[in-house]
Amino acid sequence: MPGGMHGRSNAARLLPRAARAATSVPDAPGRAARVLLGISGGIAAYKGAYLVRRLRERGIAVRCAPTLAAESFVSPLTLEVLSGERVYGQSYLSRDGGVDGAELHVEAAQWADLLCVAPATANTLARLSLGLADDFLSTTALMFEGPVVVAPAMHDAMWRKPQVEARVEALCARGVEMVGPVEGALASGERGLGRMAEPETIVEAVCRKLALPEGAAASPAGPLAGWRVVVTAGPTYEAIDPIRFLGNRSSGRMGFALARQAALRGADVTLVAGPVNQETPEGVRRIDVVAASEMQAALEQAAPAADLVVMAAAVADYRPRERADRKLKKSGADGMVLELAQNPDLLAGLASLAPEAMRVGFAAETHDLEDSARGKLEAKQADWIVANDVSRPDIGFEATDNEVVVFGRGGAPVRFPKQSKDELAGRLLELFAGGGTVSS
């Protein structure tokens, strides 16, 4: 059996090393609780982003459904990056589900354990109360069978109106939990009762409804809590002389998305980054490298303690045999010959460096995707190979989206349709941590 890990049972692989050491009878991790967060169009909508983060810190999976008006206050991209999930925004609906949301409201309603609407404007409260179904959020709410938490936000004069009161009473009578509004500064600059409750208060209400542990002291959890994850990202540059190098077009987006999504899921993440122009995701330890030899040295430090290593970097296969100390001058001859030496294969080297870790490689292919990916799975002794077609301009190198086929050590390949790299990163991590199970 190649690689130390392939002889272990799948169940043992599902737990981070610390937990594996603590128990010999591991339980497969239960799936995270799921909240569909409806965001309607008031100034408090920007707090939706904050709310997503607080819910994620509790280990809750969140999908957002901003109304059209809410998208003016908080961008779907922000919500997507923070949640690592698809956002049921207007562009998503028109791209993948028809302008009216087609069947996506059914999917969303079935996916969620709880619907939280925060902020809920007077208009949204009325539509929820009356059972209108004229946009994605209201249609999904009408479809949804589980618990509902609503955090109203509006001017206090509106909140006190009998027509609003009647809507709130009707919703409460149907078991909807109202959180707030609270007294405080309003968008108008006045003070009054109409401000959205603080995200922490809303999260407590959500946790109570879902019977999850309450309290700010609750440890940040997530499906990857306790996991030590190492991700490589970006290209390597192999120096020819002080100003020239061999490199490739990797932007680092795929690897940074994996690091970000692993951290949002509670993992302890080390990101080994080649030369890229990407912001370090919050909570992620970053080691910057340039050449493959430096990436190898960083992996030698970080990988032995890891539970999961994901090699999304486009590591150069070759480097110039000699690096000139001074800028090479034109010789006047017709051309020049650059002699290359082969770089070590870092992913293959992990088999001895991190035999206990789950090891994942990416395969950048332009043709024969399946055969090449399967070949790399064997040759590099990986547990998973994520294959992407890098001949397509809309996915792979530099693109914001990716589409992949994942090959594992058993079972059929798992296909992930084109989606944002952040969304895909979340799905891939679920696949790896879940031992081959993918959620819808």
If you ran DSSP here, which 8-state letter would residue 438 be given? -
What CA–CA distance (Å, rounded) separates 85 from 37? 12
What's the closest the beta carbon of residue 275 comes to ligand PMT, in angstroms?
A: 11
- 425 Cβ partners below 8 Å, 6+ apart? 84, 254, 257, 258, 260, 261, 262
Residue 308's closest CA among 410, 429, 408, 421?
A: 429
What CA–CA distance (Å, rounded) separates 146 from 321? 64
Q: Closest CB to ligand PMT among 252 and 408? A: 252
Q: Closest CB to ligand PMT among 269 and 314? A: 314
How far apart are the two ends of the chain, measured CA to CA in Å?
A: 32
Q: Closest CB to ligand PMT among 109 and 369? A: 369
If you ran DSSP here, which 8-state letter would residue 18 be given? H
Q: Are 419 and 86 in contact (CB under 8 A)?
A: yes
Q: Closest CB to ligand PMT among 159 and 237? A: 237
Phi/psi of residue 422, each to 5°? -65, -45
- 284 Cβ partners below 8 Å, 6+ apart? 259, 260, 263, 269, 270, 271
Q: Which of 123, 248, 343, 388 is catalytic?
A: 248
If you ran DSSP here, which 8-state letter would residue 95 be given? I
Per DSSP, helices labelled H in 58-197 are 76-83, 90-92, 104-111, 122-130, 136-143, 156-159, 162-173
Q: Is 123 a catalytic residue?
A: no
Q: Closest CB to ligand PMT among 117 and 363? A: 363
Helix (H, G, I), strand (E, B) or coil at 320: strand
Q: Are 235 and 398 in contact (CB under 8 A)?
A: no
What's the closest the beta carbon of residue 40 comes to ligand PMT, in angstroms?
A: 34
Q: Closest CB to ligand PMT among 139 and 343? A: 343
Residues that bind ligand PMT (CB under 6 A): 234, 250-254, 292, 311-315, 317, 343, 345-347, 361-364, 376, 380, 388, 390, 396-398
What's the closest the beta carbon of residue 9 comes to ligand PMT, in angstroms?
A: 25
For 301, the token pair is 């430090």
Q: Closest CB to ligand PMT among 184 and 375? A: 375
What's the closest the beta carbon of residue 317 comes to ligand PMT, in angstroms?
A: 5
What's the closest the beta carbon of residue 214 comes to ligand PMT, in angstroms?
A: 39
User: Which residue matches tokens 């206990």?
Assistant: 356
Residue 230's closest CA among 260, 270, 267?
A: 270
What's the closest the beta carbon of residue 373 comes to ligand PMT, in angstroms?
A: 8
- Cis amide prior to 16 (ω within 30 degrees): no
What's the closest the beta carbon of residue 286 comes to ligand PMT, in angstroms?
A: 15
What CA–CA distance (Å, rounded) separates 43 from 108? 25
Q: Report, as residue numbers or ranges, the catalytic residues.
A: 248
